């Protein structure tokens, strides 16, 4: 599929390169056209893997061009510049699957009353799915992200089944397992989880050890 990426930073690089290697075509966009073009070239080289099928095609464009190009659009920009980027992207995201990987960063930056994913949905008219926001960029560079024999699980929060199906495809292309996290109204919980867990990791705590495995988490309904 064609993936337009709003952003030309590390998340765009890591996820975009993996999807290129899986055969998808990518357009990255950023504030600096020269840097965006250099990133597209770097991703093309990195996606070429011995013995694997030929990767997709990477190119660079403006915010508006990337939003128009993608059958699905990923938003991977800093929260501080989000409004300006969405305004520059224009109306092309309306009705499209939109993957939001953003997190608010810095002390007090997280707003418990409204998720960035809902803001993006309201601003663009896109069918937004919150995903890929819980892990450091280095995790998304792993091929695949597997820990103690278990593929990484990626929660997805969204309302539109077509957008969710697209997100599930992109998750499995990374070698990860998609997990239904509820509707877009629950994206604020996913963003809050990121804010809390990142804080633990920064202090040196093993955030994964906070929760027990499923088998030790109590008795749960089967339906």
Angstrom distance (rounded) from CA 82 to CA 68: 18
Specify the pLDDT at position 223. Answer: 58
Phi and psi dihedrals of 112, rounded to 5? -75, -15
pLDDT tens for the chain, residues 1 to 223? 999 999 999 999 999 999 999 999 999 999 999 999 999 999 999 999 888 888 999 999 999 999 999 999 999 999 889 999 999 999 999 999 999 999 987 656 667 778 999 999 999 999 999 999 999 999 999 999 999 999 999 999 999 999 999 999 999 999 999 999 999 999 999 999 998 888 888 899 998 888 888 888 888 776 5
Three-state secondary structure call for residue 177: strand
- Closest by Cα among 128, 101, 94, 125 to 191: 101
Q: What letter would DSSP give residue 92? A: G
In order of their start, the domains of the chain are 2-207 (3.40.50.720)
**What does the block give as tokens for 44?**
């093309």
Q: Give the number of other Cβ atoms within 10 Å of residue 94's Cβ.
A: 12
Angstrom distance (rounded) from CA 107 to CA 114: 17
Q: Cβ contacts of residue 7 below 8 Å, gap of 6+?
A: 28, 29, 30, 74, 75, 76, 77, 85
């Amino acid at each position: 599929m064609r993936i337009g990426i709003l952003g030309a930073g590390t998340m765009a690089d890591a996820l975009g390169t993996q999807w290129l290697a899986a055969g998808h075509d990518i357009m990255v966009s950023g504030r600096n056209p020269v840097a965006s073009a250099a990133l597209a070239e770097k991703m093309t080289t990195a996606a070429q893997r011995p013995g694997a099928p030929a990767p997709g095609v990477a190119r660079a464009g403006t915010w508006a061009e990337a939003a128009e190009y993608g059958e699905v659009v990923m938003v991977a920009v800093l929260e501080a510049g989000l409004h300006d980027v969405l305004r520059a992207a224009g109306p092309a995201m309306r009705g499209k699957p939109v993957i939001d990987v953003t997190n608010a960063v810095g002390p007090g930056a997280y707003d418990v009353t409204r998720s960035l994913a809902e803001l993006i949905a309201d601003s663009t008219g896109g069918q937004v799915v919150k995903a890929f926001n819980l892990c450091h960029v280095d995790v998304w560079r792993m091929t695949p992200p597997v820990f103690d024999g278990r593929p990484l699980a990626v929660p997805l929060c969204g309302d539109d089944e077509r957008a969710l199906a697209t997100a599930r495809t992109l998750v499995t292309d990374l070698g990860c397992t998609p997990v239904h996290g509820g509707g877009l109204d629950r994206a604020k919980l996913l963003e809050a989880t990121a804010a809390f867990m990142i804080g633990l990791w920064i202090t040196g705590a093993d955030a994964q050890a906070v929760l027990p495995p499923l088998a030790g988490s109590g008795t749960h309904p089967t339906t």
